[in-house]
Structure 1
């Protein structure tokens, strides 16, 4: 299935990335129940760049597990677009709509397992801009239990609950039906991961402790069976990401709307502030821009009313996003691009969740 986050207008002209208004009682693992524990299990959501699109309304794309202060383990198909993580936040709260700003941590990098392809080695990691507000899972590589078939496994995620809701951490028990070299399959007993639970953890009790053994990958359309990637056979990939992050990546600055972004020359995304990306310009140079938008810079304050240029989030303020050819003190009316009008200064960002074969579905988005 595909998910489109269109940057080009506001209101009805943007493909929705927000769920319908839902009551907490109806909001994610089918057949499961709200899960007050497992604070290391977090939701992965897009960060809308436009003012008037609240972060609290962002729809859950995938689920992940914090395995180091700045490392979130998830599925590869959740981060297969290398630029997509620039517009992601990881939400460390039991309910995404109620998360505070401190519980929303921006992502600065996504990594794919080098052997990943649909159905194989479906593991990825997200590197956070700052330490998560919760302690990471005490993860260690352990062999998958030899007597795994027939045992119960716990799935946890923020995805669909079977009643039209998502965004609430839920968990429940499934039963292991088969084990392969790279993955293992489960069936509902009575719970099962569903859309939006991609990348979420699967636990098995070992020595009296529930231990991480898998990452949710794909399943059938009715959310009654699923296949999960084994973490024991991919321990090296996970450990390398943890070690890289522990070395102290360069500190990424926050967005400063008073700095001329058109003069922020860059070679790679890492050269730009958090939430911005290094983009090519018509003259062949590269500069930092709000992730998902073309090269430009922040202009005057705006209110969200419709106008010639989009009104974007700039820290705690709302500012016009202007092409580099226009001065930053332009006095054009502020606001989002007119509905249906489009804007040459914006680029659609497509976040693709893979799927293949008849009757299969990726459990993302």
Structure 2
């Protein structure tokens, strides 16, 4: 039976990445129903969206997980999954939502009723927040979706949006026959209502296990893109987050499978209790990133990673761009000259978008008789005209956020999965 995936094979820059088909195929194979460690695998299910549902204007804590946008104009957000805000700076989602880019991947969450069609500011009804850390459950089993949960740390706390309430001892137990409400941004099976809209619907619990539960339509059903979204129960005004959507039948008609939030307590609480990290040291200047090497991500301006290619010094860069420098604020590529693009360092703010110029496009100012220091390529492999051709999915498959990220010498950024 065919399987569906919650992820997109397209690079957020709009390029079709080499090797992305293999990565997405892997993600599609991961879309099997969840089960606890003692439960059997069923081969006839897949990842999940809200069909036969309605708009969900009151669910501000339901979020969309998207691939991080690196361009400031003309780049529609790429929906990966849904998620649930459980603390002002913490989102709970499904672990398989991280399969395409990995835990160190470039993620943002969107809070609002509808994803904007392009990467510009979504307006008063929504906002993006950058993800600084993603952690999958240590016992997550992709083949069965056992413990299919992940936590995301946000760059800034979300104000004015009450997080979902986690189950407590005062809540009645989840039992077969209970009605639950699902929320997500996924497929609606209605061409007039595309994915990317926050929707809700009722399901009825059909089976309960120690770590998961199943539900059928009443009359709604989750579908592709709703993975990681909240599954809620209890009276209106005092709902509890009973679980998150992880899989279901291929037609999005008969079965949805959820991971139980109360079974995740040992995973959730230590992450929620983590102390805020110490203030980062002053980062390297944006206009000197072709000259200055880095050793850790903490030395890079917010949103940039410290990456080395082969034996070249590590440089601060955006995942989908080569090493380069950042200049004046901008809103479109036309403001950045023939060899520059308007790149997104942060998701909002006056300085979020800055003109980016790759290292190799910067002429060497060092004359034979001395002068200013030479600006080397610093590991840049692409000519200015090929900006964005390095596939984000492939590049992020190579990046592992250690104290120092390194791409193996002798290999290009596009020949490894």
Distance 1:12 1:290, change over 3 A: closer
Distance 1:140 1:49, change over 3 A: closer
1:81: Cα distance to partner? 5.3
- Greater C-alpha Rg: 2
1:299: Cα distance to partner? 6.4
Q: 2:305 aligns with which of 274, 277, 281?
A: 277
Structure 2 regions of 5+ residues with no counterpart? 21-48, 346-350, 366-374, 376-381, 398-417
1:239 aligns with 2:266: no
Structure 1 regions of 5+ residues with no counterpart? 17-27, 331-336, 353-365
Q: TM-score, normalised by structure 2?
A: 0.67
Mapping of 1:126-145 within 5 angstroms?
126-137=152-163, 139-142=165-168
Q: Deviations over 1:11-36 (max 9, x none)?
A: 676799xxxxxxxxxxx611110011
The structure whose RCO (Cα within 8 Å, separation 6+) is larger is 1
Q: 1:154 aligns with which of 181, 191, 196?
A: 181
> Match of 2:411?
none
The SS at the match of 2:231 is strand
Distance 1:92 1:255, change over 3 A: farther
Q: Is the 8 A contact 1:311 1:321 kept in 2?
A: no
Q: 2:355 aligns with which of 319, 325, 334?
A: 319
> Match of 1:107?
131
Aligned residue pairs total 328
Q: Is the 8 A contact 1:218 1:226 kept in 2?
A: yes
Q: Is the 8 A contact 2:81 2:229 kept in 1?
A: yes
> Match of 2:401?
none
Distance 1:328 1:99, change over 3 A: farther
Q: CA RMSD, aligned part only?
A: 3.7
Q: Deviations over 1:292-350 (max 9, x none)?
A: 334333368851899666553354545233136845999xxxxxx99xx8559834325
Question: CA–CA distance in 1 between the matches of 2:208 and 2:150?
Answer: 21
1:6 aligns with 2:34: no
The SS at the match of 2:287 is coil
Q: Deviations over 1:15-69 (max 9, x none)?
A: 99xxxxxxxxxxx611110011121111112232134334xx3132111111111
The SS at the match of 2:234 is strand
Q: 2:334 aligns with which of 293, 303, 328?
A: 303
Q: 2:250 aligns with which of 218, 221, 224?
A: 221
The SS at the match of 1:234 is helix
1:141: Cα distance to partner? 3.9
Q: Deviations over 1:259-293 (max 9, x none)?
A: 32235544444443332122113335322101233
Q: TM-score, normalised by structure 1?
A: 0.76
Distance 1:12 1:201, change over 3 A: closer
Question: CA–CA distance in 2 between the matches of 1:235 and 1:130?
Answer: 24
Q: 2:393 aligns with which of 349, 352, 356?
A: 349
1:92: Cα distance to partner? 1.4
1:292 aligns with 2:320: yes
The SS at the match of 1:303 is helix
Structure with greater strand percent:
1
Q: Is the 8 A contact 1:52 1:304 kept in 2?
A: no
